Amino acid sequence: MQYITSVFTWAAIILLVLVWLPVVAISRLFDRDPVRYRTGRVFRTLGLLISKINPNWNVEISGAEGIDDRKPYVVVSNHLSNADIPVISNLPWEMKWIAKEELFKIPIVGWMMNFAGDISVDRSSSNKRVGVFNRCAYYLERNTSVIFFPEGTRSRSGKLNRFALGAFDLAIREQVDLLPLVLDGTQECLPKKSWLFEPDVYVKLKVLSPVSTKGMKPEDSIELMESVRSQIKDQLSVWRGEAPDKVDGTL
């Protein structure tokens, strides 16, 4: 039965992606907003639909109430799976994603990322941080949020890995609030060395309270990073019923 379900789910996802390309392209064609807010929302709807059409995924979202969709945040989230992206796309506001340059070269999906105005990172570039920060500042100044995975890559163990400082330096430099997200369960969403989806996967996404950076200085970035990482770790600890050190991949 799971074989049949997976076949139909993959077929639906592929069809949806193919159909969505001209939808996003047309939206981009008529979108005169310099931050392409509407086009971004149209593209993000693809992720939402992917999470909805998969009968194996049960997504629970909390904490998103009261977030102003045109107040700029530097959003940070833990990273467990490729499924994180469609799950986060359930949130009802636009964010520009920071992603490695290679993803933008993937046919169809990469094209849509470009249409939406997402931010590519050339990891081989010696000044990549400057370029990314400038692009992020452009969006933040125009009331559009940006989102980072500060772990840099997916956690293979499911534990919370070490954070990079970039997102926290940016938030302090631009004096905008940080908005932490916590995900759990997505590590079970997508097949591991198999194309079959696991049945009855329960995913939790929680939006934590915004963290103000008002008055902070560059030298405060490490303390800010550690504080936000601790909040995310504590929430994972509560969900999993484990001590915080058990969900910490750096220990």
CA distance linking residue 170 with residue 159, whole number of Å: 25
Three-state DSSP at 168 gives: helix
Of the options 3.30.70, 3.40.1350, 3.40.1130, 2.60.40, the CATH number for the domain spanning 2-246: 3.40.1130
pLDDT of 73? 98
Sequence letter at residue 154: R
CA distance linking residue 202 with residue 189, whole number of Å: 8
* Residue 195 DSSP label: S
Each residue's pLDDT expressed in tens, for the chain with a length of 251 residues: 777 888 999 999 999 999 999 999 999 999 999 999 999 999 999 999 999 999 889 999 999 998 988 899 999 999 999 899 999 999 999 999 999 999 999 999 999 999 999 999 987 766 778 889 999 999 999 999 999 999 999 998 999 999 999 999 999 999 999 999 999 999 988 766 778 888 889 999 999 999 999 999 999 999 999 999 999 999 999 999 999 999 999 98
pTM score of the predicted model: 0.94
- Cα 65-68-73 angle, rounded to 5 deg: 110
pLDDT of 237? 98
pLDDT of 104? 95
- Residues 6 or more apart whose Cβ sits within 8 Å of residue 28: 36, 39, 115, 116
pLDDT of 3? 79
Chain centroid offset of residue 148 CA: 7
pLDDT of 125? 67
Q: How far is CA 85 from CA 43, 95, 125, 191, 245, in A?
A: 12, 11, 25, 15, 26
pLDDT of 122? 83
Beta-strand runs (E) in 82-227? 95-100, 119-121, 145-148, 177-184, 201-207
Beta-strand runs (E) in 63-191? 73-77, 95-100, 119-121, 145-148, 177-184
Cβ neighbours, 10 Å, residue 226: 12
pLDDT of 191? 67
Domain ranges of the chain: 2-246
pLDDT of 135? 96
